[in-house]
Amino acid sequence: MLGSVNESANWRDLIVALDDRHLDTLANAAAATIESLRGSPDAPRSDVSPTALRELVRAVTICPDEGGDPTTVLAEFATMVWRHGVVPSDVACVAHLHPPTLVPAVATELAIAATNQSMDSWDQSPAATEVELHLMAWLADLIGFGPTASGVMTSGGTASNLLGITLARSAAAMRSGVDVLQSGLPAEASTWRILCSDQAHFSIQRAAAQLGLGRDAVVAVASTPSGSLDVTALDEAIDRLTRAGSRVIALIATAGTTDLGAIDPMDEVAARARRLGCWFHVDAAVAGAFLLADRLRARLAGIELADSVTIDFHKLWWQPFNASALVVRDTSTFDLLRVPSDYLDRDDELEGVVNLVGRSLDTSRRFDAAKVVVTLRTLGRHALAEMLEHLVALATHAAQAVDDEPTLSLLAPPTAVMCVFDAPGASADDLRAVQQRLLVRGELVLGRTRIKGRAALKFTFMNPLTTTADVDRLVRVVTDELRAVRALPAVDGTA
C-alpha cells in the first residue's frame, strides 16, 4: 500500500539519529570513509587525462534500483574520485587559493552534517545561532569595529561581496528616499557607479550585474605596478565621473588580490568614501587572515574604517569549503535587506531571539561557524600567525629563486602568499603548454593567469608544511619544463 513502511528495511539504519545504535553506524561509515582516502595519489593529482577521467566516472550507475553496502560504495567512490582528485596538501599543488584543511575543522564537519542545524531561524539552530553571532562579534573586534558591528556567514567571497554591495545599493537608494527592495531601482540608478581597482575580483562586476546596475556601473581604476589601487588614478576617476553627472555609491578596496596578493591603501580609499558620503567595502577574502598575525596586521591599516568587510575562512584560515563572512560596522544596516516572513522571521519572537535569515541572501544555511570556532580554539592565534608568516616568507623565497633563474622573470614583489612570473622570450602558448603538460602528468598544479594583458605563471603557497627546499624544486620543475616546451617543434602545441 502506498505510504506503508517496511519495518525491516535497511535504510532505517542509515538515518542519522543521535542514539547509540545509529551513532555506531555513523562511526563505522566515518572509519570507512577515512580508509577510502588512503588511495589518494602521492602527487598533486593523478595522470589520468580529462577524457579518460570522464569515461571512468560516466561508467558508474548513479542510482541503481537496489542500493549497495556503504563500505563497498565508499571504496568504489575512492577509486573513481579521491584517487583522481586534486590533493591540496601536496606541496606541488600551488595554482589557487585552495588550502589543505585542519583536522579540528574536518572532524567538526561530521557533527555539522549529523546535527544539521539550519541557520535561517533560531528555532532551527538555537545554540548554533549564538555561536555564529559570537564568532561575528569576535571577528568584528579583530577588524577594529565597535560594539555595534556584527556579521553573517556566507558560502564564499563572491557571496560576501554580493551581500556587501547589495547593502551599498540599498543604502544609496535610501539616501534618495527610495526603498529599493520594495519598489526597485530608481531612474537615477543609471548614473550610479562603483569604483574598484583593475585587479579587484570579478565578483564585483558580477554583483553589479545581479543587482540590476550592470557591469558597466563598475569603473576599474588603474593599479600600480605592485597591483594595488593607484590613488591618483582613483581621484581622477572620481573627478571625471562627478563632472559627467554620475554618482559614486561605493568604493571597493581589495586586501589581497587574487593574483599578486596586493593590498590597496584602505585608509586613503576610506577618506575618499567619507568625502563622497558613499559606502566603503573591503574585499579581504585573501588577506583578512593577516589580522591574526602581529607582523602582518599593519598591512591592513584602514580596514577598520570600512562599512563592510569580506573574510574568507576557506582560504588562509584553512577551513573546508564553504566558510566566508560579511561583517558590517553597524548591524542595523542589515535592516536594508530584511524581508519578514510569517513562518520564519517574525516580529513577535521571545526576548533574545535572532533569526539570521534577515541578514543573509540565503535561507537554509549550514552551521559553518562551528568548524571555524573549533579550529580557532584548538590552534590559537599564535599558531595560526606562525603558519601565515611562514607562507608569506615562502612567497618571498620563491621570488628570490625566480630572480636568480635567468629563464624566468618576476612580475612584482610578493605582498602575500603568491609569486607571479613569466619567462623572457616565451610566448603565452609556451606558458600555457608548461602549465597544461605538468597538470595532465600530475606533477604540478601550477597557476596560469594574465597581469594587465601579460601572460604569467603563478605559485600560490597555501600549505604550511611546504619548505624552502620544496619551493626551489618547484622552480626547477617549471624551468625544466619550459626548456622542454621551447625545444618542441612549433606544431607540437601542448603534446
Q: What is the CATH number of the domain that holds 469?
A: 3.90.1150.10
Do 235 and 339 sit in the same domain of this protein? yes
Do 79 and 141 sit in the same domain of this protein? no
d(CA 257, CA 420): 12
CA angle 179, 180, 186 (to 5 degrees): 105
Q: H/E element holding 16?
A: none
Do 363 and 403 sit in the same domain of this protein? no
Compute φ and ψ for 203, nearest 5 degrees.
-65, -20
Are the C-beta atoms of residues 262 and 256 closer than 8 Å to each other?
yes
Of the candidates 398, 416, 404, the one whose C-alpha atom is nearest the C-alpha of residue 457 is: 398
CB-count exposure of residue 419 (10 Å: 0-12, 13-18, 19+): buried
Number of structural domains found in the chain: 3
Ranges of residues in the chain whose predicted pLDDT is under 50: 492-495
Do 203 and 58 sit in the same domain of this protein? no
Q: Quickly count: other Cβ atoms within 10 Å of residue 344's Cβ.
A: 14
Q: List CB contacts of 124: < 8 A, sequence separation 6 or more.
A: 117, 118
Do 215 and 307 sit in the same domain of this protein? yes
In a domain, 343, yes or no: yes
Residue that finishes a domain, picked among 85, 108, 135: 85
Do 440 and 318 sit in the same domain of this protein? no
For residue 56, give the CATH number of its domain: 1.20.1650
Helices 468-486, 428-441: inter-axial angle, 10-degree rounding: 120
Residue that finishes a domain, picked among 322, 340, 367: 367
Q: List CB contacts of 247: < 8 A, sequence separation 6 or more.
A: 172, 188, 191, 192, 193
In a domain, 111, yes or no: no
Residue burial 34-61, b: 16+ Cβ < 10 Å; e: rest: eebeeebbebbbbebeeeebeeeeeeee
Are the C-beta atoms of residues 439 and 448 closer than 8 Å to each other?
no
In a domain, 94, yes or no: no
Are the C-beta atoms of residues 482 and 423 closer than 8 Å to each other?
yes
CA angle 112, 288, 361 (to 5 degrees): 50
Distances (CA, A) of 46 to 39, 227, 406, 408: 11, 34, 31, 27
For residue 136, give the CATH number of its domain: 3.40.640.10
Report, in this order, helix, strand and coil percent for the chain, each rounded to 5: 50, 15, 35
Of the candidates 198, 203, 205, the one whose C-alpha atom is nearest the C-alpha of residue 228 is: 198
Do 303 and 392 sit in the same domain of this protein? no
Do 123 and 261 sit in the same domain of this protein? yes
d(CA 360, CA 329): 16
Helices 369-404, 103-115: inter-axial angle, 10-degree rounding: 150
Q: List CB contacts of 64: < 8 A, sequence separation 6 or more.
A: none
Are the C-beta atoms of residues 411 and 451 closer than 8 Å to each other?
yes
Question: How does DSSP classify residue 436?
Answer: H
d(CA 308, CA 150): 10
Are the C-beta atoms of residues 312 and 160 closer than 8 Å to each other?
yes
d(CA 148, CA 134): 13
d(CA 416, CA 290): 9
Task: Map residue 34 onto helix, strand or coil.
Answer: helix
In a domain, 260, yes or no: yes
Do 363 and 259 sit in the same domain of this protein? yes
CB-count exposure of residue 89 (10 Å: 0-12, 13-18, 19+): middle
- Say if residue 322 is preceded by a cis peptide, omega within 30 of 0: yes
Do 387 and 360 sit in the same domain of this protein? no
Residue that finishes a domain, picked among 342, 367, 392: 367
In a domain, 449, yes or no: yes
Residues paired with residue 253 on neighbouring β-strands, in sequence order: 282
Strand order in the sheet with 279-284: 150-154, 324-328, 308-312, 279-284, 247-254, 192-197, 218-221
Do 50 and 196 sit in the same domain of this protein? no
In a domain, 106, yes or no: no
The parent domain of residue 51 ranges over: 14-85
d(CA 298, CA 442): 39
Strand intervals (E) in 207-246: 218-221
pLDDT at position 347: 84
Do 126 and 195 sit in the same domain of this protein? yes
In a domain, 140, yes or no: yes
In a domain, 293, yes or no: yes
Strand order in the sheet with 409-410: 93-94, 445-451, 454-460, 418-422, 409-410
Could you please report the per-residue DSSP string of 368-433?
THHHHHHHHHHHHHHHHHHHHHHHHHHHHHHHHHHHH-TT-EESS--SSSEEEEE-TT--HHHHHH
d(CA 138, CA 242): 38
Compute φ and ψ for 470, nearest 5 degrees.
-60, -45
d(CA 205, CA 405): 37
pLDDT at position 342: 86
